[in-house]
């Protein structure tokens, strides 16, 4: 399962409002920067913990931003 599929499933379940995946130009092997908009019903830290764990094998936590 890829990054967008994981985030889309999370969006469908209602934990995140929206997300954006920004791939690093010039290097397809570098991890992307992922920006997630948390739903107001959930604390940002809870969303960050979930998304970080969800994407752990694919994206380092330093590349994940949750607003």
pLDDT at 19 over 90: yes
For residue 67, what are the contacts with CB-CB under 8 A and spacing of at least 6? 35, 36, 37, 38, 44
pLDDT band at 24 (very low <50, low <70, confident <90, very high): confident
Q: Which residues of 40-62 are buried (b: 16+ CB within 10 A; e: fewer)?
A: eeeeeeebbebbbebbeeebeee
The predicted pLDDT at position 27 comes to 67
On the question of pLDDT at 43 being above 80, the answer is yes
pLDDT of 46: 96
Please report, rounded to a whole number, the percentage of residues in the chain having pLDDT higher than 90.
Answer: 84
């Amino acid at each position: 399962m890829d990054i967008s599929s994981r985030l889309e499933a999370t969006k469908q379940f209602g934990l995140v409002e929206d997300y954006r995946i920004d791939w690093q130009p010039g290097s397809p092997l570098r991890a992307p920067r992922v920006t997630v908009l948390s739903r107001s019903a959930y604390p940002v830290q809870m969303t960050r913990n979930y998304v970080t764990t969800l994407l752990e094998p694919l994206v380092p936590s330093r590349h994940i931003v949750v607003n």
